[in-house]
Chain A
Amino acid sequence: MKRHRLHMLVCGGTGCHSQDSEKLIKALDILVKKNGYEDEVKIVNTGCFGFCEKGPIIKVHPDNIFYVDVKPSHAKKIFEEHIVKGRKVEELLYEEPNFHQKVEHQRDMSFYKKQHRIALRNCGLIDPENIEEYIALDGYLALGKVLSKMTPMEVIEIVKKSELRGRGGGGFPTGYKWELTYKNNNDVKYIICNADEGDPGAFMDRSILEGDPHSVLEAMSIAGYAIGAQKGFIYIRAEYPLAIHRLNVAINQAREYGLLGSNLFDSNFSFDIELKYGAGAFVCGEETALINSIEGGRGEPNAKPPFPAESGLWNRPTCVNNVETFANIPSIILRGADWFKEVGTEKSKGTKVFALAGKVNNVGLVEVPMGTKLRDIVYEIGGGIKDGHKLKAIQTGGPSGGCIPEFLLDIPIDYDSLTSIGSMMGSGGMIVLDENDCMVNISKFYLEFTEEESCGKCTPCRIGNKRLHEILIKISDGNGTEEDLERLVTLGQMVKENSLCGLGQSSPNPILSTLKYFHDEYVQHVKEKICPAGVCKMGKSEKELKVRIEN
């Protein structure tokens, strides 16, 4: 077997893909083959590196050079300089925004320094369409270990002991969820992977599925063995064509290698996985709604109990976990609960992946230990605020979360600390806002979203969110009153307390948190009819606004 001297990993995640990374790969491939270098140099299409701001990304091994903003037109130069002559292409190296210094190595970039990768361990390192590369990095070893040496209850015990909590937002302990489903006797049970990533501004799950699909398949098989299921479903958004493609390839390869199918590792455990496509409904991220959707109906939630663990898909015991939760499982099985617990805070162990976006220099996907300070994420990993502006707030948890003001940036983030300040971990969306963002307008944006996405089954959510949205429109049009602010609070509380599912129970959070931390801004809107950020039109025409700004 010929050993290559050089591997060029080109990011093929959605961000880079939409910036022509595929053309870049093709161009490099053609040059390498035409010049007879294919035995020496390997061009690999990998998953997301996370550094979407500067995509497309190329990482060169073993010299560890990291190129950013690479266009297909750069292929020739990279080939002639780096591949043929071994000289790095200076112009494509990353420059730190704060020091104006070129950085060659990934490990020296502040974007990566504070990160700790467990769920994203293989993203950007392996070719996701090649099962052997996953196996090379201990892939399916955890499944092998579980099936040859452990009882289902032993598996559940490890997961319980690791204190892993659901990464989809709720934070329910995963091990307990498994145990509940395990204890409900039934000859047919199901495992479901929730890949219906609906938070607008979050792309963690998609990146894992695109970059390391086998880690999810392996974890689903492990969960299947633990709870006694023979069949798994991945419920994925139809809007994620690349992730769907990679999953299909991965499932077929796993079947070929006998890692899905009957009698895995010569045990009496058989397991298979099927994809189910979502069709664009945010509420389907709620597990009972998701189950209704898999059954082919409208994705409306049911009242709980009964919980899916008792009666879920086709009325059978069902366990629903999120993509990122699954991606943590193989490492926990292989390295143990204690290893996993070394990282994190008292009540939130391990790491969390965030999609960092908005007015920040380094937009991208970051995985940090629980307990990391928001300030470190924004200023060290994120490289600070764009164009020298001032940070105003950080929105976490998407439509279910809230806005965190500057003075709270030093709290260590975990499930409980975020809830205590009126926001939420959510699935991991993290949007940075600066002084040009109006808090009323941000709330209005989220309420427009929830109003549209409310399934309409229960009244508080269907009508309450509509009314909340209307009040916000009134305020931003310059017609709000001080009573409207009170109304927002009482109605918001009412919607939270009386809605059927998580969507309505959390949808007023964006309003309530901004009202709490940016109360003055609301008051200025209703009393002085001024939008300090200059975003809300306050009933004025474009022309009048222009005059005001110019003066």
Chain B
Amino acid sequence: MLDPLKLQPQNDLEKELPKEKYDELEEYINQLPETEGTLIQVLHKAQEIFGYLPRDVQLFIARKLGVSGAKVYGVVSFYNYFDDRPRGEYLINVCTGTACFVKGSSNIMEILSDELGVKSGETTADGKFTLNGVRCIGACGLAPVIVVGDKVYGRVKPEEITGILGKYRREEH
């Protein structure tokens, strides 16, 4: 269960959630032929626009679609794909599917967690990386796999991790 306090980011809301983004979302909702049954679709769009789904955005969607805030939060918290906390600059997805698991993905996850000083689902203090476990991305031939941003790293060896992170820390990827 999420701590409700975590729903409200500590960051500057005005800067994080500018009016233009709300306008874009509103426009999207307004052009839908009907609003019934579109909640998940709208949340996908909202996450695409804002990068995550903070409490204010969830409530905004609730008002626009005429459903309760509880319903919106119920859906957001049900699905893994939706995130109500801001993500770091680079999302590191560690594949935790079975094929990667038997080839040592939990070890890879541990090393990443140690290197970054965060647990799965958390973002580093400098806002650079978010570490995340993801269910099978289907590149089982390359197991174990990690995905940083859009880039897939296959057959990852524990000793390669520092090097991979370094590229992003130095912006040399």
Taking Cβ atoms with an 8 Å cutoff, the residues of A that contact B are 14-15, 18-19, 52-55, 198-203, 206-207, 238-240, 276-282, 293-299, 314, 355, 357-359, 363-364, 395, 398, 429, 431, 433, 437, 442, 445, 455
Contacts and interface: CB of A to CB of B under 8 A. Distances in A.
Contact of A280 (B37, B135, B141): B135
B80 A277 contact: no
B99 A299 contact: no
A531 B152 CA distance: 33
Contacts of B74: 297-298
Given A200-B98, A298-B74, A429-B98, A15 B40 contact: no
Contact of A294 (B37, B136, B145): B37
Contact of A279 (B37, B79, B136): B79
Given A201-B97, A277-B44, A363-B140, A433 B102 contact: yes
B82 interface: yes
A299 B79 contact: yes
Contact of A357 (B80, B81, B82, B140): B140
B98 A395 contact: yes
Given A201-B99, A358-B102, 20 more contacts: A18-B152, A52-B139, A200-B98, A200-B136, A239-B81, A278-B79, A279-B40, A279-B82, A280-B79, A280-B81, A294-B37, A296-B36, A297-B39, A355-B140, A357-B99, A357-B143, A358-B98, A363-B99, A364-B141, A429-B98
Given A198-B135, A239-B137, A296 B75 contact: yes
B31 interface: no
B81 A296 contact: no
A14 B99 CA distance: 15
Contacts of A199: 136
Contacts of B136: 199-203
A185 to B, nearest CB: 24
B139 A298 contact: no
Interface in B123-173: 134-143, 145, 147, 152, 154
B143 to A, nearest CB: 7
Given A355-B140, A358-B102, A296 B41 contact: yes
Contacts of A314: 37
B121 to A, nearest CB: 12
A149 to B, nearest CB: 35
Contacts of B41: 276-277, 296
A289 to B, nearest CB: 10
A398 B36 CA distance: 35
A530 B56 CA distance: 52
